[in-house]
Amino acid sequence: MNPMRSRKRRSLELETRGGKLRIGIVGAGIGGLMAAVALLESGHDVEIYEKSRFKSEVGAAICTPPNSSRILAHYGFDFEQARATTSEDSIYFTDPSDLGQKRVVPCADFTPKYGAPFCFFHRVDLHSELRRLATEPTDKRPRSARLHLGTSVTGVDDDGTLWFEDGTSVRKDLVVAADGIRSAFVSRVVEEAPRAQHHMSIMRYLVPSETVLADPEVAGFFVDGLKSLRVVDNVDKRVIIYGCRGGSLQNIGLIYPPRLGMDAAGTSNLARPPAVKCLFVAHSSFSPSSRAGNDISESEGFASKVMAEFPETIQSICREAKDVGQWQLFTRAPLERLARGRVVLIGDAAHPMPPLRAQGASMAIEDAAALGVLLSQVESADEVPARMDMFNKLRWCRVAATQLLSSEHRWDPSQLSAEQRGYFSGDVPHTEDDVEKYSYEYDVIRDALELLKEDR
């Protein structure tokens, strides 16, 4: 069943009358494809350039909390086609040595409370539906984006000219950099970006629910259902478990300090990044480790070592893993701006953050919606730089605050500096309920429309 079938789609008809911009998007991940959908909705000509060829499925599962599920529904995303799983509960185990102690947050009221559910997807399912939505016409939108696979962009000029690996070029009115934490375009927006640092690693894999339920002891861990989010913290390690594809698969994520991988291997293949002063620690969304740069030991006992301090039930679940994905997570302080001239950074290229609050992809989706609204009713390409200034104004505090909220296993607002408190528009969240409200109530489409009205 489509969890958003009954949602009424807000019309942007009044905002889409204007000139057509030529827009180039670099990167066809979740942020890039969502940006294409939103910009097509505003009547623009969109081309997407992706260096890979999408030959294989990549990634495990992913969450869309209400603030991003609401945006997906607004733009006609088919939740049923993408096999979305609506979360039943969020369950936090407060004592890693005693799984009987837990805090349960019901998610059943999220749709009436926030206008959308908390959803889980297999990452490939979410990506595939976004790709379909971006590259195929719809009943209300005949235009679609042109997707160029195996196309590497090597640079961009101030006038929006994109340069490709084969020496050819094309000029665009706006370039959207959605090419991840290693974006080649950050230097076009800021003169000097904070250096990324590696402070966390993650192992991710999927386990069939029928496999974990075959063990009676493990089955008891899932007594609250197969479609809930479960979080078990243990000092500097965390296990995250949730169901996708209707609860038929359980996504397992194990976050741990990279020193464990270094200790297991005896040495690290990763050159330690230089120490830099950051406003705070914010770990990026997963960036797949290359074989040469992988800090995770391949020794057979490594996974067992990481899980040694967790209860036997958790260890049993993790032992069922077959194909383990390994990623390094990075830190980076907020950039001083997100857009400049005809270049705008979105998603991990702009504001990497850890998966601790499931907001990494959500911020990319919010970025995309903001672009779609702010670039509606544009009379000429000359207006683009001013609209990008509006994007900075709208998005900077929101994403910096979300990076901050996502940087700690346990939120402690008493440790914030005066500058960090300024990231929040209004009161700083103090309790977990405050954080939930701050994260999920926010409506980027509403705020973007209001900003446009103020500018007229």
Order the strands of the 161-164 sheet from edge to edge.
153-156, 161-164, 169-171
Angstrom distance (rounded) from CA 432 to CA 427: 14
Return the closest-CA partner of residue 374 out of 10, 18, 3: 18
Taking only the tens of pLDDT, the chain with its 456 residues reads 556 554 444 444 434 455 699 999 999 999 999 999 999 999 999 999 999 998 555 668 999 999 999 999 999 999 999 999 999 999 999 888 889 899 999 999 999 999 999 999 999 999 999 999 999 999 889 999 999 999 999 999 999 999 999 999 999 999 999 999 889 999 999 988 887 777 778 888 899 999 999 998 899 999 889 999 999 988 788 999 999 999 999 999 988 887 775 554 443 333 333 222 223 333 333 333 333 334 444 444 667 777 888 889 998 888 777 777 777 877 688 999 999 999 999 999 999 988 888 999 999 999 999 999 999 989 999 999 999 999 999 999 999 999 989 877 778 888 888 988 999 988 899 999 999 999 999 999 999 999 999 987
* pTM of this structure: 0.88
Distances (CA, A) of 379 to 42, 46, 78, 92, 421: 12, 17, 32, 50, 38
Angstrom distance (rounded) from CA 72 to CA 41: 13
How many residues are there in the chain?
456
Tell me the H-state helices in 20-104.
Answer: 30-41, 66-74
Residues whose CB falls within 8 Å of the CB of residue 362, separated by 6 or more in sequence, listed in order: 64, 65, 67, 68
Identify the H or E element spanning 47.
strand 45-50
Domains and CATH numbers, the chain: 13-86+122-194+332-455 (3.50.50.60), 197-326 (no CATH)
Identify the H or E element spanning 92.
strand 89-93
DSSP string, 168-201: -EEE-SEEEE---TT-S-GGGT-SSPPPPEEEEE
Q: Cα dihedral sign for 159, 162, 163, 168?
A: negative
State the distance between the two ends of the chain, measured CA to CA, in whole angstroms.
42
